[in-house]
Amino acid sequence: MNFDGLPGPTHNYSGLARGNLAAERNAQQVANPREAALQGLAKMRALAARGYVQGVLPPHERPSVPALRALGFRGSDDAVIVAAGRDAPELLAACSSAAAMWVANAATVSAAADCGDGRVHFTPANLVTHFHRALEAPVTTRVLRAIFADETRFRVHDPLPAVPQFGDEGAANHTRFAADVTVPGVELFVYGRRGFASGPAPTRFSARQTREAAEAIARNHGLEAGRTIYAQQRPDVIDAGVFHNDVIAVGEGTFLFCHERAFVDQDALLAALQDAVGPAFRATVIRDDELSLSDAVGTYLFNSQLLPRDDGRFLLVAPAECRANRATSELLDRLIADGTPIADVLTFDLRQSMRNGGGPACLRLRVPLTAEDRAAITANVFLDDALDASLEAWIRRHYRDRLAPADLRDPALLDESRRALDELTQLLRLPAVYPFQIAG
């Protein structure tokens, strides 16, 4: 199933993520947090209506007053925000980031059938490459432990050590291939660089994921070595704006959809996946002369969701930009007509998220659960008509429809966000997970 992250009340365009071309290009524009949250909810609603089990993950508390205090700001919470806005607006922007909405970076998740102890394993990502994202790990861990609380079925690990050698960006660089959630799968970990050894690396932007982090997660999850594959992103592609693997490739079931420039030694990787997954494995590889890398990054074609259909083929859930771009739209039509595993395309207006560099795949965390696993979750996080209506009313009640980077200096925004999040935890039947709730 897919758990989507709700954009938070401080959704804004501060351009914090170097290497994310959309975030850099749209820096300092005025955002609409209410529209961002409603767009994300609309995607969840539409997929739930098609019969897909859809979950919700809450946003984080922002601005992060504890982080600002750790950086030397003193006084009341309001005084901390005023001082940070006056003396270090770049730090206030980082501590106000709503980037936790992209829950593909929340954690790496392994199915129970793949893990040595027969439980679903989660490793929250440390996200050490960027300060504004590294702030997320503690709350993400608490949220996951609150939702997946049954320790007989779930194991939520601590994040890996928060150092560059173990840089971990979560499920954005991880794909599980299996015909079914109940059978052992093949887990593909994609990395950008090695943490303790030299090797090919990008020169313009940082490679965020290390191989050592992927290997540590595989060990902690108890994965079988013969069913675990590691692949490296091409450094030149990272330098072209492919900061995560899910910007250039997406897989589901026994199908991989990717660009020909996605991986180092790509032919060898495809052969290894064919051997490990078996005869059912299929790959559709888009050539550069079919779709340029710049168009792939600009439209986020591969930052899409692949959802299984009853006929064995897939629905591709893509951003609206894929139909607005002629080359991408024509390619999608050819893929459907040629009988590839992609049978249909559904696009969504996610422009509020896309302007910060996050498409449909960024907004969701895939969690392989059996029906019994789902029944063990007592939190109110499964989207149905009642939760959908409650969330829409909650968004309209609490979110601003305009937020410029300068507005982050308004102490009232903190109070608004805390009231909203306190109400949301009650709505989702979650315990105290936010710092202001725990401190209070």
Amino acid at 283: A
Decide if 358 contacts 102 (C-beta within 8 A).
yes
How do 305-308 and 54-57 pair as beta strands?
Answer: unpaired
Tokens of residue 206, six digits: 């940082």
Amino acid at 431: P
Of 136, 252, 362, 398, which is the active-site residue? 362
Q: Which residue has the tokens 């660009």?
A: 259
Please give the backbone phi and psi of residue 86, each rounded to the nearest 5 degrees, phi first.
-80, -45
Please give the backbone phi and psi of residue 321, each rounded to the nearest 5 degrees, phi first.
-60, -25
324 CB-side CA count, 13 A: 12
95 is catalytic: no
407 CB-contact burial (10 Å; exposed 0-12 / middle 13-18 / buried 19+): middle
Q: How many CB atoms lie within 10 A of CB 400?
A: 17
Q: Which residue has the tokens 């997660």?
A: 217
CA distances for 252 relative to 1, 186, 215, 342, angstroms:
12, 11, 21, 11
Amino acid at 334: R
Of 11, 60, 244, 398, which is the active-site residue? 244
Of 169, 187, 212, 321, which is the active-site residue? 169
35 is catalytic: no
221 is catalytic: no
Catalytic amino acids?
169, 244, 362
